[in-house]
Amino acid sequence: MNSEAKTAIILLLKGLFYKTDNEKAFFELVTNSYGSISDYFETIGLEVMVDETDGYAYLKNIVYEKEEDVLPRVIQSRELSYKVSLLCLILRKKIAEFDMQNDSEKAVITKEDILTSILLFLDVKFNEVKIKKDIDTTIKKVENLGFLRKLKISDDTYEIKSSIKSFVDISFLKEFDQKLSQYKEAKLWN
């Protein structure tokens, strides 16, 4: 295995791996070494997922059909908080709008747009300072998930990463609608 394939393995182990992180390793992954990299991860119960069009790759647990084949999960699932789920939903809708318009190279959103969108889901009575801090924290969490990247041109402008389309799918939207109804009834933000 060459050094670019090894680099691709390391980048995949770190989480979402974008073509822009290392073009040579991404090219190696999708062309020459996909089979060997895929086999490498399959031995520990992981599947390599690649979206060549949008330029990203990630690992996910293999779903086994036979119970005797099941291995312990390497990647643990974790439930997202309401705020993080809400922001992911907003970003998914924004990137869908961007894909339809396709005006520029990157789908971008400002912190003000995020704030305005989230406020639509909140009760009228709220502490604005606390909400802004909460939104900053939520944005940071979504950045850590790999769905947002702060642009260098402005501290308040973010690129919405296309990988969100793989993680926020129809089943997520349906599940979120159910949770949203529960939260609306309880009028919870925290």
For residues 11 and 86, state if they share a domain.
no
Q: Which two tokens stand for residue 136?
A: 């900053």
Is 75 a member of any domain? no
Put simply, whether the predicted model's pTM sits higher than 0.75 gets the answer no
For residues 132 and 154, state if they share a domain.
yes
Residue 141 is predicted with a pLDDT of 92
Say if residues 17 and 56 touch (Cβ distance below 8 Å): yes
For residues 47 and 88, state if they share a domain.
no
Residue 81 is predicted with a pLDDT of 84
For residues 55 and 111, state if they share a domain.
no
Residue 190 is predicted with a pLDDT of 46
For residues 25 and 51, state if they share a domain.
yes
Residue 122 is predicted with a pLDDT of 66
Q: Which two tokens stand for residue 188?
A: 């919870």
Residue 181, domain CATH: 1.10.10.2260
pLDDT along the chain (190 residues), means of 10: 86 88 87 89 91 89 78 77 86 83 77 85 68 87 90 86 82 72 61
For residues 59 and 18, state if they share a domain.
yes
Residue 158 is predicted with a pLDDT of 92
Question: Distance between CA atoms of 188 and 82, rounded to whole angstroms?
Answer: 9
Residue 187 is predicted with a pLDDT of 58
Helices (H), 52-169: 82-101, 111-119, 128-145, 164-167
Query: Which structural domain, as residue segments, surrounds residue 139?
Result: 82-186
Residue 70 is predicted with a pLDDT of 73
- Nearest C-alpha neighbor of 117 from the set 80, 154, 88, 151: 88
Q: How far is CA 114 from CA 30, 94, 122, 131, in A?
A: 34, 10, 13, 12
SS3 content of the chain, % helix, strand, coil (to 5): 55, 15, 35
